[in-house]
Amino acid sequence: MLTPPKLMKAFLITAVVVFAFGAKVNSAQAERIKDLASVQGVRMNQLIGYGLVVGLDGSGDQTTQTPFTVQSLTNMLSQLGVQLPPGTNLQLRNVAAVMLTTNLPPFAKPGQQIDLTVSSLGNAKSLRGGTLLLTPLKGADGQIYAMAQGNVIIAGAGASAGGSKVQINQLNAGRIPAGATVERAVASPFATSESLHLELNTADFSTASKLAEAVNRRMGPGSATPLDGRVIQVKFPQNANDRVAFMADLENLDVESVAPAARVVINARTGSVVMNRMVTLEACAVSHGNLSVTINSTPQVSQPAPFSQGQTVTSEKVDISVKSEPGQVMLLEGGAKLADVVRALNSIGVNPQDLLAILQAMKAAGALKAELEVI
């Protein structure tokens, strides 16, 4: 039986062990394979088509400025057995030429319906209320993979009268839910190949190695082999009927996360700066001054004296001033945590555009321990 002092000591030891174990568990995060990688060959394929939208309320293409709309309509009517007299000048306002785009999902089978995006190609004012005529959708190989037809849905509204116009959202592009029907399936090596290749979303040798280790622990030694920093080869079961269950088990395996490379992403257009938790800062001194140029322009008019037969002369008085504010040298303490880096950068008190130049200078001086990426 434990006495109170011994009981208290045992409780403290247990608490320390539990705390240490919990800290270890919290520090090691895991991600599923489906969040880290994708299966090579299992992807979407883009489809595109050209068609006509009819039934518009006078908001279609102006045929005098879009001759391809008239040509397309003439060809369609000839295929339907309607021959127009030579020299017929069509003046239609309820037809619009459109481009159709969609994505063919992986493992799509004939008869499956997919959503479709319809975009005006000419100068139509609106596609609201229009109906897309039967149009083939082709892939990059020129083969027809789907057929599209249906009513266009426009998430916008507009009105005009007396030279005034009001418009909400986009009227020249819309969608047709389930507007395309798959007619041809894309061949996939999933059911015939002896192995599959997992492609990491971000190339990293450490992640590739840990992913292969996780697969080998679950599926057996030799099941996975990392080929490089992005691709991991995994052996498929011999029985083709077990491949779906094998993939369901594989993509839900947990892989210990690897610390990402220290990186600072800079958007030069908006001035946005984003950095991850691995960014560190060495002690450095920063001096940044502001330079401002001010230009004031004042129009002036010189009138001639009476009866002098002179002319009025207009001139412009321009005052240009340049103001330079000397920068104060500030010491930035080194920081091993992201919070310390943010606190040090905030102490400079500069705007985002100036921060871009300071970060680049810190990187050149070796004080910023991170990779700079400008987008």
CB neighbourhood size of 263 (10 A)? 14
pLDDT above 60: residue 32: yes
- Total length of the chain: 375
* Nearest-angstrom CA–CA distance, 56 and 61: 10
Burial of 258 (0-12, 13-18, 19+ CB in 10 A): middle
* pLDDT at residue number 100: 96
In this prediction, what percent of the chain has a pLDDT beyond 70? 79
For residue 151, what are its two tokens?
Answer: 């009513």
Task: For 36-93, write each residue's pLDDT tens digit.
Answer: 999 888 889 999 999 999 999 888 888 778 888 888 888 888 888 888 887 777 778 8
What is the identity of the amino acid at 56? Answer: L
* pLDDT at residue number 6: 45
Q: Which domains does the chain have, with CATH numbers?
A: 45-154+167-182 (no CATH), 189-256 (3.30.1360), 263-302+314-374 (no CATH)
* pLDDT at residue number 139: 94
Q: How distant, in Å, are the alpha carbons of 50, 114, 178, 355 from that of 151?
A: 16, 14, 10, 50
Asked if 227 and 236 count as a contact pair (C-beta separation under 8 A), the reply is: no
* pLDDT at residue number 23: 39
* Nearest-angstrom CA–CA distance, 218 and 210: 13
Task: For 129-160, write each residue's pLDDT tens digit.
Answer: 899 999 999 999 999 999 999 999 988 677 66
93 or 184: whose pLDDT is higher? 184
Highest mean predicted confidence (pLDDT) among 114-118, 120-124, 161-165: 114-118
Query: Which residue carries 């027809």 as its tokens?
Result: 144
* Nearest-angstrom CA–CA distance, 259 and 95: 56
CB neighbourhood size of 244 (10 A)? 11
Which residues share a beta bridge with 51? 98
Instruction: Kindly report the pTM of this predicted structure.
Output: 0.68
* Nearest-angstrom CA–CA distance, 300 and 279: 57
Average pLDDT for residues 238-244, to the nearest whole number? Answer: 80
